[in-house]
C-alpha cells in the first residue's frame, strides 16, 4: 500500500485559478469555472446514467468558490458563489481532472528505446571439418 497523494496546500493562485499542491509534489492549477462545470453531484450528473445534467452554459464565467472545506480525508466540499453547495470533489477526482486540464505543452517525451538485445554469437562448433579425421563427419 503506497497510499494516495493528499493535498498539502490549497489556495487561490489567480483571479479564477485554484492551486492544489499534493503530497507527491504534483501541482494542480484549476480553472474554477471549469471546476464548477466538472461537478459530479446528483444535481449536475445523473446518478444512474452518468450523463451530465449541468450544461456548461449554465455556469457563469464569474462563478467563484466562496468556501472550500475539507471533508474527511478524501474530498473537498465547495460552496460556490452561484449558490451551489452540494458539490463534492474527491481527491481522486481532482487528480483525474488535473490530467484532463493540464495539457502537456512540451514535446512528447522520448520513448525509451528497448534495451539492446545482447546477441549471443554462438560459436559454430561441433561439426567436424578436419579432412583427416576418421569420424566421417
Q: Would strands 65-71 and 17-22 be described as parallel, antiparallel, or unpaired?
A: unpaired
User: What is the rounded CA–CA span in Å between residue 78 and residue 95?
Assistant: 16
10 or 88: CB nearest Zn ion: 88
Q: How far is the CB of 58 from Zn ion (least distance, A)?
A: 11
Q: How far is the CB of 55 from Zn ion (least distance, A)?
A: 12
Cell numbers at residue 93, please? 477526482
Strand partners, 1: none
Q: How far is the CB of 85 from Zn ion (least distance, A)?
A: 9
Binding site for Zn ion (CB under 5 A): 39, 41, 43-44, 87
Q: How far is the CB of 14 from Zn ion (least distance, A)?
A: 23
Closest CA to 86 of 54, 60, 56, 50: 54
H-type helices in the chain, by residue range?
32-37, 91-101
48 or 133: CB nearest Zn ion: 48
21 or 88: CB nearest Zn ion: 88
18 or 39: CB nearest Zn ion: 39
Amino acid at each position: 500500500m503506497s497510499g494516495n497523494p493528499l493535498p498539502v496546500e490549497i489556495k487561490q493562485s489567480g483571479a479564477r485559478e485554484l492551486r492544489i499542491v499534493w503530497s507527491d509534489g504534483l501541482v494542480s492549477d484549476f480553472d474554477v469555472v471549469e471546476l464548477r462545470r466538472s461537478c459530479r453531484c446528483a444535481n449536475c450528473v445523473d446518478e444512474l446514467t452518468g450523463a451530465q445534467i449541468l450544461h456548461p452554459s449554465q455556469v457563469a464565467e464569474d462563478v467563484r468558490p466562496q468556501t472550500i472545506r475539507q471533508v474527511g480525508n478524501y474530498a473537498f466540499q465547495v460552496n460556490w458563489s452561484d449558490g451551489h453547495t452540494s458539490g463534492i470533489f474527491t481527491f481522486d477526482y481532482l487528480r483525474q481532472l488535473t490530467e484532463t486540464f493540464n495539457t502537456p505543452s512540451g514535446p512528447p517525451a522520448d520513448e525509451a528505446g528497448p534495451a539492446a538485445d545482447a546477441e549471443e554469437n554462438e560459436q559454430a562448433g561441433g561439426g567436424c571439418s578436419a579432412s583427416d579425421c576418421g569420424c566421417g563427419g
